Chain A
Amino acid sequence: MSTETNVQEQGYETFSYDDRLTKMFVIATMLWGVIALFLGVWIAFELASWKLNLNLPWFTFGRLRPLHTNAAIFAFVGNAIFAGVYYSTQRLLKTRMASDILGKIHFWGWQLIIVGAAVTLPLGISSAKEYAELEWPLDILVALIWVTFGVNFFLTLKQRRERHIYVAIWFYIATIITVAVLYVVNNLALPVGFMKSYSAFAGVQDALVQWWYGHNAVAFFLTTPFLGLMYYYVPKAINRPVYSYRLSIIHFWSLIFVYIWAGPHHLLYSTLPEWVQTLGMAFSVALWAPSWGGMINGLLTLRGAWDRVRKEPILKFLATGVTFYGMSTFEGPLLSIKSVNSLAHFTDWIVGHVHSGTIGWNYMMTSGMLYFMVPKLWNTKLYSNRLANIQFWSATIGLLLYIMSMWTAGITQGLMWRAIDETGKLVYPNFVETVVKILPMYWVRAFGGTLVLFGFVVLVYNVYKTIKNAPKEQQEETFKALPLSANPIDAHGGSHRKLEGLPLYFSVLAFLAILVGSVIELIPSLVSNQFIVKDSRVRPYSALEVAGRDVYVREGCYTCHSQLVRPMAAEQLRYGRVSEAAEYVYDRPFQWGSRRIGPDLHRVGKKYSHMWHYRHMLNPRDVTPGSIMPNYPWLYKNKVKFGVLPKKLSVLAALGAPYSEEEINRAPELAKMQAKTIMDELVADGVPAKMADKEIVALIAYLQRLGIDMAEDKDEVASTK
């Protein structure tokens, strides 16, 4: 690349980088970072002390957890990715982004989506699919804005002045393509109204698609872009090239190929076909190799410079980030091994695992990247290294407290759930015992999270001061470089150039790599619809139960409750019969959940009286002392919207539920009749008759229906009391 001297001056083109756009994303990263982390801390305290749910719908755990996860992933990490990508892409390709306008649309569109999420999720407008809770209008907006980003990116590639495409750019390309595919497929749904839809997939299939998405959101939103960023910012910060460029290529292809298969490790011991589970587990374990290849490559880039790592905050954050990447990608495959998974699944261990990824890897890398970029972007020096060090220690200690408390809580609770004494009975039959036991750990976790948040606030202050002290006159730096046409493909290594220098060709290959796994894994299961014997005993939900289910979805009950009894002795003892695939065929979306903060609910139908639920939902501690479940007083005020039921049922019918014309047209009337039968019992227990049209009745109808269709005889249900 030392062609400058001997080429004529007029061959050069001059250009500048669109750093305004990067700066905007930097600011947005900090703003949303504080909010996402604050939300996390808030809901952590809600679990430690249920009163913080404030008895208000918008603040309950079930509604705020989706906001926290979406804010952390798409707002905080998302904006950080865009900042890092725009900064590095322009420099690696020696060109300004193709279009300033598209960049601005991307920026403001993305912020609009986030604001939309911040408004709709607390209002309970949610599709109840984890990390994809946004409803369809926002989903469409996400897709459009993502495409805008992609178009601008590919146009920029086209007008680049550097023929070779550095590996970081590969990771960005894989990210752009895969996230688009994942997001669109997983959010396929049929709208019922402006802010409500039913998933195009049901039950087991919905679960498979959801976790193919969910896992790969981790892979292609939280991991691949950050690996790209790692390959750019670590060499930049230490001022030497990556340890092994060759390894980075092997890392890239192995990682994207293997990752896409691993989703089913979220569904081990579920009713998912066995071969899909095995596939997911095998590839998850295999994932260990490319992940560690990448980590080692990152860390070895810092070899022999550890004294600098100890002194310079940027390197400290980056090195810690890469180390935690290694840790969580070790833990992930471990958790995918079936026997480990049987203990860890549904416990806080998984929650700890996720946070060692998002805080350890994404937060640390983002911080390092910000400390690197901000002084460069604003043409100044960092305000305070000391503050950066304070953040580092605060965040690191906070994170360690977080991880260790969650390990303890998860393993403790997991062991308590499965403990069976000599007589074959559960040692802790009362679920709430296992909750009370780990409450101290919830305080430790909340405190750890607070330290992480505090560290980030320090970063924001530090960056604010840095920017304030920067020279007021900021002019865009101009650069010169030769156009691509002046840099013909040279003789040696010709075929490398062909593959690694042709973005389109390359993108197609990357697309194929992720397609292979997706197609082999998803298609047979999706068409296997014809293979699931639809058990004739399983009937679609009644109109009132549909209304109740929508309340369940709106309140985010799945953030605390699973609906999946796994084939294990302890679960059968605790909950009842093992769940079967045929039972879920009308579940749109499926609600298996991923964490049992409360007990599984798949066999809760007919377990308790209507009155028990009535009292429990109003104040869980009334019937279960020590419970940490929020109160739901508004369900006793809100009326069921009977009028929309025909519409809802007809949409479900369009998706395959066998409702008759009559059931659809007379839905409001039939729902009221069912409410009446529930009310008869409640009134006998002293509930005022005017409650008949309230949401609580619909919710009770739904809860009482859960998991009873296939009971061999109805007595069996009653005897599990």
Chain B
Amino acid sequence: MEHCENCKCKEKHDYALLAPVLEEYAKVPGSLITILQHAQEIYGYLPTDVLWHIAEETGIKPAKVLGVATFYTQFRFKPVGKYLILLCCGTACHVNGAKKIEETICEELGIKDGDTTDDGLFSLKVVACLGCCSLSPVMMINDETYGSLTPDKVKKILKELREKSEA
């Protein structure tokens, strides 16, 4: 299988981590999304081999598992950086200049929406509305929300996080 040389299908993650989740949900109808959410929480993203493993354990066809996973924007198929930036580009944020904020982040980090920096520190994902519209423009980094952003404020936040992780 020559074409498999660079492909990650042979990779094997530690399925024991997922075992309790599968134990609880594998046979409960309608639980595929819940299982995928737990898997993403455990592995940080949805690796191909984990998706195969879920398909085997639940008896759901692999194509269906992938079909569901790719439908929802929450699911990722690549590892993310230490800091996941969720930048809001919802209506309120758009009206208050979210585009500028996006440009600033992209410029500062040298990445586009959906990418991760080479040092694995930052990932950027554009989302629609974090529900803090009154403080727009807004972004969320891991579990922390930052509001009333300006390009300068964003630069400062990114710098602080970078320094924090270097320390």
A and B pair up? no
